[in-house]
Amino acid sequence: MAELDEGLETSGGIPQVLTFGTPSVGEILAERYQLEEHIGNDSLGRQLYRGIDVILRRPVAVVLRYPGGESAKEMLGAAVAASRIVHPHLVGVYDAIDEGHRAYVVREWVDGIALRDIVASGPLDAGRSVAIAWAVTDAVASLHGTGMAHGNVHPGTVLVAHDGRVVLTDARADDLATPETDIRAIGAVLYCALTGYWPHREAGTYSVPDGVRDNSGALAAPRQVRAGVPTHLDSLVMDLLNPDLPLPSAESLAGELASFGQFDDSDLAEGGGEGGGEQLDFEAFDAASQSNVPPKPAGRKLAVGVVGLLVLALAGTLAAAKVLGDPAAPSQAPPSAAGSSAPQQAKPPAGQPTVLTLKPSQVRIVDPKGNRSEVKDAEKTIDGSTETIWRTERYPKADFGGKKDGMGVWLDLGEARQIVSVEVKLATPGASGELRTGTTDFGSGATQDQQTVDQYKVVENTAKAAMDPTNLYVGPAQPTRYLLVWITKLPKESSGGYRVAIAEITVRVQ
């Protein structure tokens, strides 16, 4: 589900969540809003509750902040501004109350799943991605029309409800919120829907991974990350993310998105996430896309699926923003809507990138000039756990103590595959390394390992002088069966000496 604060504009320290004087489940606020369930705390120090309006008997979301007064001014101001706008793709704000020692906002409850959690099972097809981006853009355009900016557009605040509606939640409206930042963020949301990656490093603890980048740090275009993205859509996304290019207005962008084609009718994986085992059924979403609605006048041809979303939103009942998770507390599992088991992982649809499962027999350590004492435990790099680690011995210098040119992890994908990306997670970042590919399995042994190193070619733009804790590499243009993650220099450990530790290697294929 959506987090309140995680997005492009989040910056600065993370305040502690105050608990003194906080309400208990069952308490009724303002003689009207009964608290039913504590959902979680966000990293701005706010507490999130599911509640009931005891007068109108409707579910609500209650966002509390301690104290009230000046410290709650931005939250209350944004709520008051947002309450003046009624739009099918904006979460409705019902009340904003400042009691001095605390302040709270009461708003719609949306029974749905955040885009962030949907793409965890794989990116969306172009049609659905455009439909979601259009709904968000249309909502933002309504805000901009009143002189207000949203300031918090990101995959955690974009919800797809179980009835098929797309809802944008939690406007921030602080000094950093501008129409320009909203439009850039919409481009980032579209990138996320198409690729499953977030193109900004500020995405937060519980978010989608950072976008795939080359050695210079440049972001890979959606078409480079996955196949099947239309060229004109790819260009639009990259233009929106390019800080050197002028931006369209939200209204113009909505028209541009509406000009794209209809939905793909292929099946979509049910989206998992933090919903306590809930899955997102896209039947309602796709049913909306089949609505027969006349196109807008003035020559604008609306995508059938996009218009259907608007019709469904206008006809549907309003529900509310369900907000989970605290990126400030990664040691605590985000609470679930149902308070039950972890989400199920559905199989991504045909043609979408999938994580390739490898067996221990498909991985080994390449060490051409070593004493072969470090070639064990290779299977720990592909077992799906970052807690199990393969590491080299400790050396006195970064160049393996001058004893060898490098070491690496060799992977056999079973057959030639179209690789979308290779993700390498290091327990000791700072190593120098690169990704190589080859066509032959030379076998294991010092001589064979040297043949592997000599014959395998470096994949373009993968050589890196200082590897991050998580490194994402775009796969080679041509299908390949064999990979080599090759380490050429070791990082220095805080305890002294030099060695590298690889926690996990994840290969995604088309």
| Predicted confidence (pLDDT) per residue in 356-390, tens digit | 999 999 999 999 988 888 999 999 999 999 899 99
pLDDT of residue 283: 55
pLDDT of residue 352: 52
In the predicted model, is pLDDT for residue 176 greater than 90?
Answer: no
pLDDT of residue 173: 65
pLDDT of residue 201: 59
Chain mean pLDDT for the chain:
77
| Residue 424 neighbours by CB distance under 10 Å | 26
pLDDT of residue 346: 39
Tokens of 325: 């998770």
Contact of 409 with 505, CB cutoff 8 Å: yes
Is the link from the previous residue into 67 a cis peptide, with omega within 30 of 0? yes
Residue 478 exposed, middle or buried by CB count within 10 Å (0-12, 13-18, 19+): exposed
C-alpha closest to that of 171 among 79, 70, 69, 88: 79
Cα angle, residue 293 at apex, residues 291 and 294 outer, rounded to 5°: 155
Determine the 3-state secondary structure of 35 from DSSP.
Answer: strand
pLDDT of residue 107: 92
Percent of the chain, pLDDT > 90? 43
Tokens of 484: 């080599």
Q: Between 231-241 and 179-195, two packed helices, what is the crossing angle to 10 degrees?
A: 140
Tokens of 189: 């949301």
pLDDT of residue 342: 30
Tokens of 491: 């990082």
Contact of 146 with 269, CB cutoff 8 Å: no
Tokens of 193: 């829907």
In the predicted model, is pLDDT for residue 124 greater than 50?
Answer: yes
Q: What is the DSSP string of 342-389?
A: PPP-PPPPTTS-EEPP--GGGEEEE-TTS-STT-S-GGGGSSS-SSS-
Residue 267: pLDDT band (50, 70, 90) is: very low
pLDDT tens digits for range 75-111: 888 888 878 888 989 998 999 999 988 999 999 998 8
CA 286 – CA 164 distance, rounded (Å): 8
Tokens of 208: 């989608």
* Chain position carrying tokens 């275009």: 221
Enumerate the β-bridge partners of residue 65.
Answer: 46, 103
pLDDT tens digits for range 14-72: 344 444 456 788 899 999 999 999 887 765 678 889 999 999 999 999 989 888 888 88
Edge-to-edge strand order for the sheet containing 432-438?
A: 363-366, 407-417, 480-489, 432-438, 457-458
Greater confidence, 350 or 248? 248
Contact of 257 with 134, CB cutoff 8 Å: yes
pLDDT of residue 405: 92
Tell me how long the chain is.
510
Cα angle, residue 173 at apex, residues 35 and 237 outer, rounded to 5°: 110
pLDDT of residue 344: 37
Percent of the chain, pLDDT > 70? 75
pLDDT tens digits for range 335-351: 333 222 233 333 444 44
Contact of 424 with 468, CB cutoff 8 Å: no
CA 102 – CA 68 distance, rounded (Å): 4
In the predicted model, is pLDDT for residue 510 greater than 90?
Answer: no
Tokens of 178: 């501008």
C-alpha closest to that of 496 among 389, 391, 394: 394
Average pLDDT over residues 387-401: 94
Quote the DSSP letter at residue 175: T
pLDDT of residue 336: 30
Lowest mean pLDDT among 48-52, 212-216, 353-357, 431-435: 212-216
Residue 446: pLDDT band (50, 70, 90) is: very high
Residue 439: pLDDT band (50, 70, 90) is: very high
Q: Which residues of 114-123 are buried (b: 16+ CB within 10 A; e: fewer)?
A: bbbbbbbbbb
pLDDT of residue 43: 57
**59: amino acid identity, one letter:** P
pLDDT tens digits for range 455-500: 999 998 788 888 888 887 878 888 999 999 999 999 999 888 999 9
pLDDT of residue 341: 29
pLDDT of residue 44: 67
| Residue 223 neighbours by CB distance under 10 Å | 18
Cα dihedral 52→56→57→59 (10° resolution): -40
* Chain position carrying tokens 């120090």: 45
Average pLDDT over residues 395-415: 95
pLDDT tens digits for range 272-317: 322 333 344 455 555 544 433 323 322 233 333 333 333 333 333 2
φ, ψ for residue 118, nearest 5 deg: -65, -45
CA 339 – CA 55 distance, rounded (Å): 27
pLDDT of residue 136: 96
